Chain A
Amino acid sequence: MRLKRLLIAGAAAALAAMPASAGELSFWHAYAGQQDKVEFIDFALGEFAKAHPEVKLEVVAAEQSAYKTKLNTAMASGNPPDVFYTLPGGFLNAFVKGGQMYALDEELARDGWRDSFLESAISQTSKDGHTYAVPVDVDSVVFWYDKARFAENGWTVPKTYEELLALAEKVKGEGLVPFSLGNKDSWPATFWFQYLEMRLKGSGVVSAFVNGDPDATLGAEATKAMEKLAELAKQEYFPIGFNGMSDQEANMLFLNGQAAMMLNGTWQIGASADAPEGFELGYFAFPAVAGGAGDQSDVLAGVAASFGVSQKAENKADAVTLLKFLTSREVMTKYVELRKTMVTVKDATTETAAGPVLYDISNKLMKAAGHLDPFYDTAMPPAATNIYYTSLQGVLDGSLPPADAAKRIEDALRAK
């Protein structure tokens, strides 16, 4: 009896969930699980409904990590949503390879849509001369510190890597953790390696591999960078058990004053919103490494998210309308205001929306940078990313010699 009722309920539900037909668009995104993300998407979709009442959206939202599983399954089973949120780099390229992404070249060329984006951002969602998604936001990585704390202890912001190490020693002497790091999810430690590689060898190393450049190599500098990283761990400049600690837990150490600095993305601004009174968030650039061949002003900054259209989408015109709306300056400025993250749309990261710290990073640090190097881990194909992550963890816990780690990553990048 109960089963029968369930079957009937199931059939009724199935009827209600018919796939989107003409005039309807399915739109999947990962703006869930976080208040600022939800506020943004509610605003954007609310405004879209007002501006385009003729387009009916069937919206599916999932929290970031669940979203990846969900989208990958949908794509693999030939049931892609019409418009969807996707990570750039290796994640997007896998769909491009499978012929599942609609190239937006024609639409971008029209009405100066393409020119509204930063060129460095659009190159991260392009492959072989075609653009397959429109970039949304940009995160850049810097050192974060508590200004009040530094002033109180007479610590000064380091300009060189040697000064950084000297400061770390001083902080450690006070019984505090110099650098907070929670590497459970493997990505936080990548910032250390990438910045050292950028300073020692230069930007664009991994991009060269991804673009199929036959001369691409991490070079002997990768071993050196790994050695420096292993040294930091050996000196106990990171919290105890950092490889098993989450980024959020590491952030708590930083905010409640048990750790002095943190190398992390610009999302740190939002994550510091609930910091204890008296905490004054400041940032400084990754310091110069003496004798490094790279441009010492380079900044690690990459596109964090983008929106694409499925090749199978029946209603591409409406899909593009939605993309254009989402990446309009008004919506993107609101994005900056709510999420305190830089966006890829020119002039949308305004001073009032961004707040002083983010605007300073966007307007000074990023503008003065010789190059912006996108995140290695998202640029690589997913298989190489896994090897990159495990090699770094091995070096940090001392189980993998630096030279071996560098070789493993190089081999993985060559294998593609």
Chain B
Amino acid sequence: MTAVRRWNLTSTIVLAVLTAHVLMVIFPFFWMIYSTFKTNREFMRSVWSLPKSFSLDAYVGAWSGGALGGYAVNSLLIMAGATLITVVLATLAGFALAAYRPRWIPAVELSMTAAMAIPAYVALVPLVVMLRGAGLLDTHLGVILPTAAFNVPVSIFIMQAFFNTLPRDLFDAARMDGASEWKIFLRVALPIARPAMFTVAIVNMIWVWNDFLFPVVFINSPSRKTLPVGLTDFVGEHITNYPVMLAAILIAAIAPLVLFVFFERQITAALIGGAVKG
């Protein structure tokens, strides 16, 4: 009897704590949604109050004034391009470093670590000069290439760490059977590496999607702006129309939200995996 009672009490407490936690996490999102139905004046009077009437003006303002759809397409293009390049390079390099263990590995690792230590701000001016020379300033590719370059080292480390966990016998066996190195990579390594590649892809997608510095400096044309840059159009220095800004943020969150809903399990696994390996 007592055991049952205690179980009830414990579970009640656990349930209460979890409910409180969920409410704390959910509330800002919920607040964001209902705030978008208020006018700026209502918002100024009281931040927490519920809207007096149901108005979609904020969404109309966000959508018409901001060209958010175009920004989203640009963000998607840059995200896809930079992630693709990074994943391909990191998988190839990670496999090579792990499977062949050349003697000069420490030199490669050191140079990659050194490259990772360079803050992006320091590289801005030389990058602009180089991009202008290549005619890539104010293009999507001009953002994709430097972004990939900055993300490749850490991605290689993740892939290398993964390939290191595979037994070398696996590759040796394939080699005995007469498979070429290229075939070993494609037929043996690649299928096993898919979870790790997913990790790298997800982490990169999040980084690239949220990046602000490179797009704001390298892109000039309004039609090529990415979402984070475009969203600053909604944040004024001294004056802000909060409902419109929140509506824009909600619209901008749709794409990552859809991505999350489809790949929830892989993303969670990737983030946990990345936390341990990174």
List A residues at the B interface (Cβ < 8 Å): 2-3, 6-7, 9-11, 13-15, 17, 32-38, 60-66, 69-70, 73-74, 76-79, 247-248, 251-252, 255-256, 265, 267-268, 270-271, 273-276
User: A-side binding surface: helix, strand, loop or mixed?
Assistant: helix
- In the complex, B164 has a CB within 8 A of chain A: no
- Residues of A within 8 Å of B239, CB to CB, are 34-36, 267, 270-271, 273
The docked-state distance in angstroms from the alpha carbon of A270 to that of B237 is 12
The docked-state distance in angstroms from the alpha carbon of A276 to that of B39 is 11
- Residues of B within 8 Å of A9, CB to CB, are 77, 140-141
With CB as the reference atom, state the residue of chain B lying closest to A36. Answer: B239
The answer, among B128, B129, B141, B229, for a CB contact under 8 Å with A66, is: B229
Q: A33-B232, A256-B46 are in contact. Are A62 and B81 (CB under 8 A)?
A: no
A-contacting residues, B42-85, CB 8 Å: 44-47, 77, 80-81, 84-85
The docked-state distance in angstroms from the alpha carbon of A364 to that of B190 is 77
- Residues of B within 8 Å of A36, CB to CB, are 239
- In the complex, B236 has a CB within 8 A of chain A: yes
Q: A66-B216, A248-B240 are in contact. Are A256 and B44 (CB under 8 A)?
A: yes
With CB as the reference atom, state the residue of chain B lying closest to A2. Answer: B84
Q: A77-B128, A79-B128 are in contact. Are A276 and B41 (CB under 8 A)?
A: yes
B237–A77 CB distance below 8 A: no
Q: A6-B140, A7-B141, A276-B41 are in contact. Are A33 and B128 (CB under 8 A)?
A: no
- In the complex, B222 has a CB within 8 A of chain A: yes
Q: A14-B135, A70-B217, A256-B44 are in contact. Are A34 and B140 (CB under 8 A)?
A: no
6 further A-B contacts with Cβ under 8 Å, apart from A2-B80, A10-B141, A251-B238, are A3-B85, A13-B140, A73-B124, A77-B124, A270-B238, A270-B239
Give the distance to chain A from B232, nearest Cβ to Cβ, in Å.
4
The docked-state distance in angstroms from the alpha carbon of A342 to that of B67 is 31
Q: Can you list 25 pairs linking A and B with CB atoms under 8 Å apart?
A: A6-B80, A6-B141, A9-B141, A13-B138, A13-B139, A14-B135, A14-B142, A17-B139, A33-B233, A33-B236, A34-B236, A34-B238, A60-B221, A63-B232, A63-B235, A63-B237, A66-B216, A73-B217, A74-B128, A77-B129, A77-B132, A251-B238, A265-B238, A267-B238, A275-B41
- Residues of A within 8 Å of B136, CB to CB, are 10, 14
A60–B238 CB distance below 8 A: no
Binary A-proximity of B120-149 (CB < 8 A = 1, otherwise 0): 000011101100100111111110100000
Most B CB atoms within 10 A — which of A7, A15, A79? A79
With CB as the reference atom, state the residue of chain A lying closest to B215. Answer: A66
By size class, the interface of chain B is 35 or more
B232–A6 CB distance below 8 A: no
With CB as the reference atom, state the residue of chain A lying closest to B85. Answer: A3
- Residues of A within 8 Å of B80, CB to CB, are 2, 6
Binary A-proximity of B210-243 (CB < 8 A = 1, otherwise 0): 0011001100111010000100111111111100
Give the distance to chain B from A74, nearest Cβ to Cβ, in Å.
7
The docked-state distance in angstroms from the alpha carbon of A76 to that of B121 is 12
The docked-state distance in angstroms from the alpha carbon of A2 to that of B236 is 38
Give the distance to chain B from A6, nearest Cβ to Cβ, in Å.
5
The docked-state distance in angstroms from the alpha carbon of A271 to that of B41 is 11
Q: How many A-B residue pairs have CB under 8 A?
A: 124
With CB as the reference atom, state the residue of chain B lying closest to A81. Answer: B220
For the complex of A and B, list the 5 residue pairs with the smallest distance between their C-beta atoms, beginning with the closest: A10-B141, A34-B236, A77-B128, A63-B232, A13-B139
A78–B213 CB distance below 8 A: no
- Residues of B within 8 Å of A271, CB to CB, are 238-239
A37–B236 CB distance below 8 A: yes
The docked-state distance in angstroms from the alpha carbon of A255 to that of B242 is 14
- Residues of A within 8 Å of B229, CB to CB, are 62, 66
A6–B81 CB distance below 8 A: yes
B238–A13 CB distance below 8 A: no
A247–B224 CB distance below 8 A: no
The answer, among A7, A11, A61, for a CB contact under 8 Å with B222, is: A61
The docked-state distance in angstroms from the alpha carbon of A74 to that of B138 is 12
- Residues of A within 8 Å of B44, CB to CB, are 252, 255-256, 274-276
- Residues of A within 8 Å of B124, CB to CB, are 69, 73, 77
Most A CB atoms within 10 A — which of B84, B142, B239? B239
A33–B235 CB distance below 8 A: yes
- Residues of B within 8 Å of A265, CB to CB, are 238
- Residues of A within 8 Å of B132, CB to CB, are 77, 79
Give the distance to chain A from B4, nearest Cβ to Cβ, in Å.
47
With CB as the reference atom, state the residue of chain A lying closest to B40. Answer: A274
B237–A64 CB distance below 8 A: yes
With CB as the reference atom, state the residue of chain A lying closest to B221. Answer: A17
Give the distance to chain B from A159, nearest Cβ to Cβ, in Å.
28
- Residues of A within 8 Å of B125, CB to CB, are 73, 76-77
The docked-state distance in angstroms from the alpha carbon of A77 to that of B80 is 28
- Residues of B within 8 Å of A270, CB to CB, are 238-239
A-contacting residues, B83-108, CB 8 Å: 84-85
A3–B135 CB distance below 8 A: no
A-contacting residues, B134-172, CB 8 Å: 135-142, 144
With CB as the reference atom, state the residue of chain B lying closest to A7. Answer: B141
Q: A60-B220, A70-B217, A73-B217 are in contact. Are A248 and B238 (CB under 8 A)?
A: yes
- Residues of B within 8 Å of A2, CB to CB, are 80, 84
- Residues of A within 8 Å of B140, CB to CB, are 6, 9-10, 13
The docked-state distance in angstroms from the alpha carbon of A19 to that of B129 is 14
Binary A-proximity of B21-49 (CB < 8 A = 1, otherwise 0): 00000000000000000001100111100
